[in-house]
A and B are shown apart, each in its own frame.
Chain A
Amino acid sequence: MSDVTTPPAVLRLDAVSKSFGSNRAVRGVSLSIQPGQVIGLIGENGAGKSTLLKILSGNYRHDEGTIAVNGREVQFRGPADALRAGIGVVHQEQSLFTNLTIAENIEVNTPIGRGGVNRLGLYNWRRLYADAAQALDLIGSHLNPKTRVSDLSFVDRQMVEIARAIRVSAASHTTPLVILDEPTAILERTETAILEREISKLRDIGSVIFVSHRLDEVMRICDRVVVMRDGELIADRSVDDVTEEELFRLMVGRETHAAVRNRRSIEPATKPVISIQDLTRAGSYTDVSIDAYPGRVLAILGTSGSGREAVARAIFGAEGFDSGSVSIAGYSGRPSIKKAVALGVGYVPAERKTEGMVGEMPADQNITLTHPGSAAIGPFELPRRRLSLARLWFEKLDIRPREPEHMLQDFSGGNQQKVVLAKWLNSSDLKALVLDHPLRGLDPGAAETVNAQIRSVCDDGTAIILIPDTIDEALDIADDIVVMRDGRISGVFDLGHDNPATLDLLERML
């Protein structure tokens, strides 16, 4: 597929690295993309894909190595630089102005000052529409440039984003490179088929980096597949020389099986604390049934389009659902957050700083915010008792420094997360704890101590529903694993007798 006669690569990375503190997210990645090539980029969550993309889109600056676009070395100071160099990124989150027309969105980053505006400073709409129609035509779309983006379906919006990316590169007279970050995650299967077709057409005008969780897609669309693992680029294969099976194995690396722990089996008499039946929310998940038992960790695995986060929020009453039921400790009805908490459910949100904690409040007040326990008599709070109660939790969960009277935002991430845990543990009657990416953003040491606390909470008889970042995290700690794909359950494992390998789980996820 690649054009052998054109030597300068559209993009060349040489030993590019990026670290966050002690965490080396991208390590020495080297990659070269020729004009007209479609490259698949795959890897597990946390493999460094998104960091690499952010470097390419100018959102992050790399620490080491060089990046060359069309044979010229570049240093991106911001997203605008990357665009000018001819790299257009279509992010998972859409970046279109939904209240403006397709034409304006496509032309927004081009120097409108020259072509589209007349001497009085007024837009030349006819010219604008014509230019946009041309850009759309280039990718084979016949959308009317006068249409407002809010009227478009997701797949059409992505077409507009692609057209914009192409247009920007065309304006800078370079071979465009379009990066598609999981474009199919939010699309229906039928829409995906359309998008796939359009992507393969892009070959004629530029190069594409296609990031996806769906390996079958990658195999169909791409010329080459590169695999990232632990921040490194570990494989670069032509699709003709590789099988899906092999790619799975490359992504996972070693064949991990569930860690040998004394998994608890469910006693026949035990009733589930949380039992959800045929839970459905249109566009998010369908017919999900899960039972969570006391003293067991149930991990839900899935990719970003799987709907697992939404299920977790439904259990906590933070989001509604369309049909099915959630029963908590025997009560079933439409749960609200208040009701769920009263029934003994706790929830640690993925967005710790914005949803999990009140950063500008002292740690001790965060701990007693929901369940004051002995720190309040009726409506009255007792600051001194609150402090000593908090000290106990600081001791028990090893939160440092041992100064609960300080603002929570001044603690490190791991210690903040432990305070969030303590907020729920301070309940006299905690029956179930829902953890949404509890280790997100924590360094390995902090993650380990938080994990240890989760385990010990579970040992005390609480049911844990865990949305882990990685498969290894699930295998490390879970007693049960439920795998979701596209909003449905695609696999259920009881680690007491099943012994799934990472590969088995990954295959059910993708």
Chain B
Amino acid sequence: MTKIESETTKIDRETTKLAVPVRAKFQSVKRIGGWHAIGPIVIFVAILVVVAILTPAFIGGGGLAIIASSSAPILLLALGQAMVLNVGSIDLSNAAIGLLGAILLALTLGPVAGLSPLIVLLATTAFGAVNGLIVAYAQVPSFALTLGTLGIFQAVALVASGRTTVYVSSNGEGIHALYESGIANVPLTFWMGVLVAVSLWVLLRYTRIGRGMTAIGKNESAAIFSAVRTRSLKVLAFALSGFCAGLAGIAIIAQAGSASPTGLGSDLLLPAIAAALIGGTSISGGVVNPLTVIFGALTVALVPIATTAVGIDAQAQSLVYGAVIIAVVALTMSRNKASIVK
């Protein structure tokens, strides 16, 4: 939720007290809906303008296409994360799953060729589903659980890769083509993310499954009392996160042709969460728009370029990600004075 909305709740409380006509409240709600959809785009454009002014060569040199292509893995992970955030949970393991997927892909492309991506997607989806099953049925806090499974996936990635960078031995052409060929100079990996975003948007907007997920995120108790299949839907949200992580793994291999078990996975976790949050996803659940998450991912991909343009050390990237996450959540949280936050 946006900052403006938390103000309306205030107004809201006052209007109930003063019994001001309901109409006034209703209009303020409409206004917020608009901001929510546009906010992420505005942020992206604003940063882009700053970058363009400071380094004019960037736009001319096909900088936008570069950003789009580098944002693909972040976008895919962010979309999965957004689905999990939407049901009120968080998946700290999805970047590790994505990395494991990339390593599995690099290892299996040689032996099984075309079947390999399929196997990887099945595996990562299953990993996500296991996270979801434990969260839904054992009723444990998701951040703690996925912190634990993050450790497990990391170790599996280390062991599977033998602690070194794994290169695609053969049959890499098809996957590599996802990065090499593109539409409007932007690689297919990015468009894959856009396609996933649109599908998830349809899922959330036009299906009962999506409606149920959003209901869980907004008020899980009410969803339970409305006979929404809360457990299955949570499992599905985590499974989708695993699936998207698998796609992110494919995008990594398409781009680099190799995967390293150290670094990259944890390097993607925070940017992906940041992308989901900048893309208008609420940390407390129930508010998400996969289409604006695209702009969230683009913004995050712009951060390294923007920081350099503004003159901040490139080394400071993780500082920027960390600060951005805190700031975005702090600015957009819907707060209630009486509520207890843990």
Contact = CB atoms under 8 A, between A and B. Distances in A.
* A/B contact in complex, CB under 8 angstroms: yes
Interface of A: 21, 318, 337-338, 340-341, 347, 349, 354-361, 365, 368-370, 372, 376, 379-383, 400-401, 403, 406-407, 409-412, 423
Most chain A beta-carbon contacts within 10 A, residue among B12, B211, B218: B211
A376 B208 contact: yes
B338 to A, nearest CB: 12
Contact of B26 (A358, A410, A412): A410
A403 B27 CA distance: 12
A358 B227 contact: no
B229 interface: yes
Contacts of B26: 401, 403, 406, 410
Contacts of A401: 22-23, 26
B318 interface: no
Interface in B159-208: 205-208
B221 A355 contact: yes
A338 B209 CA distance: 15
A380 B209 CA distance: 9
25 contacts: A318-B225, A337-B224, A341-B227, A349-B225, A354-B221, A354-B222, A355-B221, A356-B222, A356-B225, A358-B219, A359-B219, A360-B219, A365-B215, A369-B215, A369-B228, A370-B226, A370-B227, A379-B207, A379-B209, A381-B205, A381-B206, A401-B22, A406-B26, A410-B29, A412-B22
Interface in B46-105: none
Most chain A beta-carbon contacts within 10 A, residue among B19, B224, B226, B286: B226
Contacts of A357: 219, 222
Contacts of B335: none
Nearest to B28: A410
B25 A410 contact: yes
Contacts of B215: 358, 361, 365, 369
Nearest to A415: B22
Given A21-B19, A361-B215, A383-B206, A406 B29 contact: yes
Contact of A360 (B17, B207, B218, B225): B218
Interface of B: 12, 16-17, 19, 22-23, 25-26, 29, 205-209, 211-212, 214-215, 218-219, 221-229, 286
Nearest to A407: B29
Contacts of A361: 214-215, 218
A379 B206 CA distance: 8
Nearest to A349: B225
Nearest to A21: B19
A410 B22 CA distance: 7
- The 3 closest A-B CB pairs, nearest first, are A341-B227, A358-B219, A370-B226
Contacts of B218: 358-361
Most chain B beta-carbon contacts within 10 A, residue among A341, A357, A410, A412: A410
A144 to B, nearest CB: 32
Contacts of B224: 318, 337
B22 A360 contact: no
Nearest to A423: B226
Given A21-B19, A360-B219, A401-B22, A379 B12 contact: no
Contact of A355 (B207, B222, B228, B229): B222
A342 to B, nearest CB: 8
A423 B215 CA distance: 14
Contacts of A423: 226
B340 to A, nearest CB: 14
Given A338-B227, A369-B228, A380-B206, A410 B12 contact: yes
A338 B229 contact: yes
Contacts of A410: 12, 22, 25-26, 29
Given A401-B22, A410-B26, A423-B226, 14 more contacts: A318-B224, A318-B225, A338-B229, A355-B222, A360-B218, A361-B215, A361-B218, A369-B215, A379-B207, A383-B205, A383-B206, A400-B22, A410-B12, A412-B22
B311 to A, nearest CB: 41
A361 B229 CA distance: 17
B22 A411 contact: yes
B269 to A, nearest CB: 28
A361 B33 CA distance: 12
A369 B23 contact: no
Contacts of B221: 354-355
A347 B225 contact: yes
Given A21-B19, A355-B222, A406-B26, A381 B227 contact: no
Contact of B207 (A356, A359, A381, A406): A381
